[in-house]
Amino acid sequence: MKIAVIGTGYVGLVTGVSLAEIGHRVSCIDVNEEKVAKMQQGISPIYEPGLSELMTKNINERRLSFTSNHREGIEQADVIYIAVGTPEKSDGSADLSFVVQAAHNIVDCINHNVIVVIKSTVPVGTNDMISEIMQCHLTSDIEVEVVSNPEFLKEGSAIYDSFHGDRIVIGANSERAASLIEQINQPFQVPVFKTDIKSAEMIKYASNAFLATKISFINEISNICELLGADIENVSNGMGMDQRIGSQFLKAGIGYGGSCFPKDTKALIQIAGNVEYEFELLKGVVNVNKKQQGILIGKLNDCLPNILGKKIAVLGLAFKPNTDDLRESASILVTTELIKQGAEVVAYDPIAMTNAKSILDPLVQYAVSIEEAIENSDAALILTDWDEFKNVDLAVFKKMKKPLVIDGRNCFSVKEMERNGIDYYSIGRSV
Ligand code: UGA
């Protein structure tokens, strides 16, 4: 099958590369010529384990190509995927301008019948709207059918998830279109769920909102555990053994970040609001998350009431491990507040520091290692649960003025830290 993918952000690029890997001929289109030039050489614009290797392999085997020319990418395609961004607008709703632009680009370039698959996360009703835009602008008797095929990949394990997903959701108006997309995806050997278009669009938002709800729920339980002397790790483990609850996404911490949960929860509140439904539960989830992202500052201020001029080490800047992505990461809020309170902030992250430099306050300093970051520091805050932190030799904390570790991801055992003479505070566990 010849496939075009418009947009090479994390969803588009991973989709294109995975489809090439299972044997399709894929042309990935992006307006950014500099980025295209790099991708043509197998250089991935994002850090994603295994991605560059698969890019290079499929480019060499001539199944994968990149272009900034829509006509060149689309001309021969049987199926065109739209995987452009739907960023958050100031009112929380999804900005659909890139999706609409992609639809216009398709109409301008095609001269044969095609199926357009929308991978971008779009509000319920968008697939129909895009279908109408294309029908209106098609001059000849060319037929275009739109299919919703939302994405459930996680950053940091996106390639693995492509081949080991729980389901592929296909929302279509015709069995013919649904079957064709099912056939394209067949080599992934992932269960397929076929449904109507609006339900497919809702499945995406509802899934992300539900996972975000699980996280905010367990974070609130962790705050109550601290007050009552229970241990959140034991509570999560005990709850997760109930298969109706499930053990995943019950890890308490400093809230969810990234390009999806914060954006999609707010967008779903808007989507509901547009039909005059107040999604009260989800509003609570969003508020709890905001509060949770700043929780380490409160813990730090309890230990060190005045941090003016104090050296604070920040370990971990990415919104989660195995990615260089800082979008909506707690590190943004935490470092901003530390700088505001006059602290000297020295940060270290194994992968995300290059990105961090263009996002965080310019006063944040960067270290090349954990050791350098914490040397002579007054406190160390852990914001991301990188393996490098979890496996560190605890003796390293002796380099601090007086070992004080405030851990937002429960990377260490409380007892072990105590044994090593480290003053240690974490999430939902008694000190
Ligand atoms: C999320 C979903 O998990 C994917 O299924 C979805 O496809 C994707 O959004 C998307 O819409 O594109 P992602 O944002 O990459 O994936 O990251 P997650 O692994 O879900 O983590 C999100 C945030 O939740 C991270 O900040 C993580 O630290 C936090 N989290 C996750 C917790 O605090 N506790 C948990 O138990 C799990």
pLDDT tens digits for range 355-392:
999 999 999 999 999 999 999 999 999 999 999 999 99
Domain that holds residue 99: 2-195
Domain presence at residue 306: yes
Catalytic residues: 260
Number of structural domains (the chain) is 3
Residues 30 and 89 in one domain: yes
Residue 80 CA to residue 181 CA, distance in Å, equals 11
Is 413 a domain residue?
A: yes
Q: Same domain for 262 and 350?
A: no
With respect to residue 100, please indicate whether it lies within any of the assigned structural domains: yes
Rounded (10°) CA dihedral 294, 298, 304, 308: 50
Are residues 411 and 269 part of one domain? no
Please check whether residue 373 lies inside any domain of the structure: yes
Q: Which of 114, 119, 20 is nearest to 28 (CA)?
A: 20
- The enclosing domain of 61 has a CATH number of 3.40.50.720
C-alpha to C-alpha distance for 292 and 275, rounded to whole angstroms? 30
pLDDT tens digits along 157-200: 999 999 999 999 999 999 999 999 999 999 999 999 999 999 99
Q: Are residues 358 and 217 in the same domain?
A: no
Ranges of beta strands (E only) in 149-233 are: 168-171, 192-195
Q: Are residues 63 and 180 in the same domain?
A: yes
Q: Is the CB of 151 under 6 A from ligand 1?
A: yes
Half-sphere exposure in the Cβ direction for 173 (13 Å, CA)? 10
Pick from 227, 219, 221: nearest CA to 257: 219
The pLDDT score that the predictor gives to residue 431 is: 65
For residue 45, is it within any domain? yes
Rounded distance, CA 431 to CA 327, Å? 31
Closest CA to 316 of 423, 397, 215, 408: 408
154 Cα nearest atom in ligand 1: 15
The single residue listed with the structure tokens 């690029």 is 13
Q: Tell me, yes or no, whether 371 lies in a domain.
A: yes
Residue 342 and residue 254 share a domain = no
Are 335 and 281 contained in the same domain?
A: no
Q: Residues in the chain with pLDDT < 70?
A: 431
Distance CA 274, CA 155 (A): 30
Query: In degrees rounded to 5, what are phi and psi of residue 324?
Result: -105, 15
Beta strands at 2-6 and 79-82: parallel, antiparallel or unpaired: parallel
Q: Apex CA 295: angle with CA 404 and CA 236, to 5°?
A: 95
pTM of the model: 0.95
Do 65 and 125 fall within a single domain?
yes
Sign of CA dihedral 203, 94, 325, 256: negative
Chosen domain end from 155, 170, 195: 195
User: Is residue 303 located within the same domain as residue 395?
Assistant: yes
> Is residue 431 in a domain?
no
Whose alpha carbon is nearest atom 16 of ligand 1?
Answer: 154
* Cα gap 380→54, rounded to integer Å: 37
189 & 213 share domain: no
Q: In whole angstroms, what is the distance from residue 64 CA to residue 1 CA?
A: 12
In this structure, the answer to whether residues 233 and 158 fall within a common structural domain is: no
Spatial separation of the C-alpha atoms in residues 242 and 227, rounded to whole Å: 25
CATH number at residue 220: 1.10.1040.10
Closest-lying ligand 1 atom to the alpha carbon of residue 150: 7
Angle in degrees, CA 184, 188, 191, rounded to 5? 95
Q: What is the DSSP string of 165-226?
A: -S-EEEE-SSHHHHHHHHHHHGGG---EEEE-HHHHHHHHHHHHHHHHHHHHHHHHHHHHHH
> For atom 24 of ligand 1, which residue has the closest CA?
256
Give the mutation target among 215, 259, 332, 333 for probing the ligand 1 site: most ligand atoms within 8 A of CB. 215
Confirm or reject: Cβ of 171 under 6 Å from ligand 1.
no
**d(Cα 84, Cα 96) in Å, to the nearest integer?**
9
Atom number, ligand 1, closest to the C-alpha of residue 207: 5
Identify the sign of the CA torsion 297, 298, 302, 303. negative
Are residues 64 and 95 located together in one domain of the fold? yes
Final residue of a structural domain among 269, 292, 315? 292
Handedness of CA 46, 412, 303, 420 (dihedral sign): negative
Distance in angstroms between the alpha carbons of the first and the last residue of the chain: 58
Q: Does residue 430 sit within a domain?
A: no
For residue 114, give both structure tokens: 């095609």
Domain finish residue from 178, 195, 212: 195
Please report the beta strands in 38-180, taking only residues with DSSP state E, as ranges in sequence order.
Answer: 64-67, 79-82, 114-118, 144-148, 168-171
* Gap between the Cα atoms of 192 and 143, Å rounded: 25
Q: Would you say the CB of residue 153 lies under 6 angstroms from ligand 1?
A: yes
The overall average pLDDT reported for the chain is 96
